[in-house]
């Protein structure tokens, strides 16, 4: 009895119990579709985060106060320390001190309420200088960006990101209008381009389209206030090109250690992060989520597999006479076993294929419904189909072995 005949017999048996087979397949199908969709969701989120982080600017280094405590990027005292100052930024901006550095943008930031007429909007106010635009790889779509005179003269001017502008002014042209920030009336001089951040909470870069940029000097003495007016929340550094990024990193490290009178690098009171590090930190979170979701999906797949086993056991019990007859007619235990294994594999495989179809459709349809990006993972799809068949096969072993072991007379005798 060759493979083709075994396959045919298996298909016949499945066709004889359409409803039951369909329900069994459904169990596998749901598991496989869940695996494909969760992996797609996870990969989509990762792709989104990486594209957003690269949109922050190329060849970018971010210096933050506080020291790194672990390789995974968790920083001790991140943001709370006030060890970085405008003087640090000025020193790094020097071409002689740091030739690999093209631009330096010290930034301070805080949440503030912006008021325009009767409209309120709470957003991130960023105090920085003229270099910020090139460091962050942004452009101005209307008006102009901050210039050096604005910074030097503590000018009461603001550049709005598109979401902020539309929230405050609707469809009106924001340029030339006045916005109150912390009670200080400021003139809107420009509007930034949109970088297409969806504003979802999962992303570290969500605020890119919703922020207000003011001169760092104005921010320090009029908006944020406080005692440490020279301190900055971070210094953004742009290397001259991607090949000098390492050099720029080294120069920043050396210069800041010197300025802060620190002799052992391990005691550094600042942390320099590259885009790569930001990326891996951000994606590692999503990766964890993906693994978690895929784990849940895998459990549902396991449940589907148990469903296959259950139905195959029922099938064996129900077909005891048939098994007995086949044995009487000359089927060896091995052939009976193979027949049942083929049957359960067909159930698994069809569940896998149908589940893949559902998963693929899901990754196309779902993003527009839940407003989350999804990407179709080929390896997850192929892997899921293979796993589905393996589940069918694996969970079929026990029922098939039971069928093969039935004594022919007992099997024939049963009613």
Partner 1 sequence: MEDTQQFDATRLLAARTPVIELRDVRKTYRTGSLAVEALRGVTLTIDQGEYVAVMGPSGSGKSTLMHIIGCLDVATSGLYRLAGEDVGHMDEDELAHVRNRRIGFVFQQFNLLASMTAQRNVELPLLYAGVDRAERRARATAALERVGMGDRLEHRPGELSGGQQQKVAIARALVTDPDLVLADEPTGNLDSLSSADVLAVFDELRRSGRTVVLITHEADVAARAQRLVRMHDGVVAPDEQPSGASPR
For position 18 contacting partner 1 by CB under 8 A, the verdict is no
CA 395 to CA 340: how far, in whole Å?
A: 11
**Biggest CA-to-CA distance, the chain:** 103
Shortest distance in whole angstroms from residue 312 CB to partner 1: 17
Closer CB to partner 1, 18 or 261, in the complex: 18
Shortest distance in whole angstroms from residue 330 CB to partner 1: 2
Residues 390 to 409 in contact with partner 1, rule: CB under 8 A: 407-409
Closest CA to 308 of 385, 380, 388: 388
Closer CB to partner 1, 13 or 92, in the complex: 13
Closer CB to partner 1, 5 or 90, in the complex: 5
Shortest distance in whole angstroms from residue 345 CB to partner 1: 19
Closest CA to 130 of 223, 215, 221: 215
Closer CB to partner 1, 388 or 403, in the complex: 403
For position 95 contacting partner 1 by CB under 8 A, the verdict is no
What binding mask, one character per residue, do residues 334-353 give for partner 1 by CB under 8 A, x or -? xx------------------
What binding mask, one character per residue, do residues 308-337 give for partner 1 by CB under 8 A, x or -? -------------xx--xxxxxxxxxxx--
Buried b (16+ CB within 10 A) or exposed e, 188-203: bbbbbeebebeeeeeb
Closer CB to partner 1, 279 or 336, in the complex: 336
Closer CB to partner 1, 1 or 141, in the complex: 1
Count of residues binding partner 1 (CB under 8 A)?
24
Q: Tell me which of 3, 7, 15, 188 binds partner 1, using CB under 8 A.
A: 15
Give residues in contact with partner 1 (CB under 8 A): 1-2, 5, 12-13, 15-16, 321-322, 325-335, 407-409, 412
């Amino acid at each position: 009895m060759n493979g083709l005949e075994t396959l045919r017999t298996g298909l016949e048996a499945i066709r004889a119990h359409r409803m039951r087979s369909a329900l069994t397949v459904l169990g596998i199908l749901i598991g496989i579709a869940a695996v494909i969709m969760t992996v797609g969701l996870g990969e989509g989120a990762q792709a989104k985060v990486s594209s957003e982080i690269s949109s922050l600017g190329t060849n970018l280094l971010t210096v933050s106060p506080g020291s790194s405590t672990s390789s995974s990027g968790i920083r001790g005292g991140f943001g709370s320390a006030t060890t970085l100052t405008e003087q640090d930024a000025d020193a790094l901006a020097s071409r002689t001190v740091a030739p690999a550095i093209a631009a330096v943008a010290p930034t301070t930031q805080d949440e503030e309420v912006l008021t325009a007429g009767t409209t309120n909007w709470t957003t991130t106010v960023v105090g920085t200088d003229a270099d910020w635009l090139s460091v962050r790889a942004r452009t101005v779509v209307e008006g102009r960006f901050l210039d050096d005179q604005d910074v030097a003269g503590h000018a009461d001017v603001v550049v709005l990101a598109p979401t902020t502008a539309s929230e405050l002014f609707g469809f009106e042209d924001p340029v030339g209008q006045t916005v109150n920030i912390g009670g200080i009336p400021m003139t809107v001089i420009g509007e930034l381009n949109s970088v297409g951040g969806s504003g979802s909470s999962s992303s570290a870069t969500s605020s890119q389209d919703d922020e207000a940029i003011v001169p760092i000097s104005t921010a320090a003495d009029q908006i944020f206030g406080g005692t440490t007016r020279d301190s900055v929340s971070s210094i953004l550094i742009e290397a001259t090109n991607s090949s000098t990024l390492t050099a720029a990193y080294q120069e920043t490290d050396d210069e800041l250690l010197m300025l802060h009178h620190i002799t052992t690098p391990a005691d550094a009171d600042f942390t320099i992060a590259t885009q790569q590090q930001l990326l891996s930190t951000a994606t590692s979170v999503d990766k964890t989520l993906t693994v978690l979701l895929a784990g849940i999906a895998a459990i549902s797949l396991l449940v589907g597999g148990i469903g296959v086993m259950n139905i195959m056991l029922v099938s064996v019990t129900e077909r005891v006479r048939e098994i007995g007859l086949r044995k009487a007619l000359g089927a060896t235990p091995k052939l009976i076993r193979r027949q049942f294994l083929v049957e359960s594999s067909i159930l698994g495989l069809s569940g896998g294929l149908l589940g893949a179809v559902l998963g693929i459709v899901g990754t196309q349809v779902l993003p527009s419904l839940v407003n989350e990006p999804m990407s179709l993972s080929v390896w997850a799809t192929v892997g899921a189909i293979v796993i589905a068949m393996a589940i069918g096969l694996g969970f079929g072993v026990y029922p098939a072995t039971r069928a093969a072991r039935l004594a022919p007379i007992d099997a024939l005798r049963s009613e």
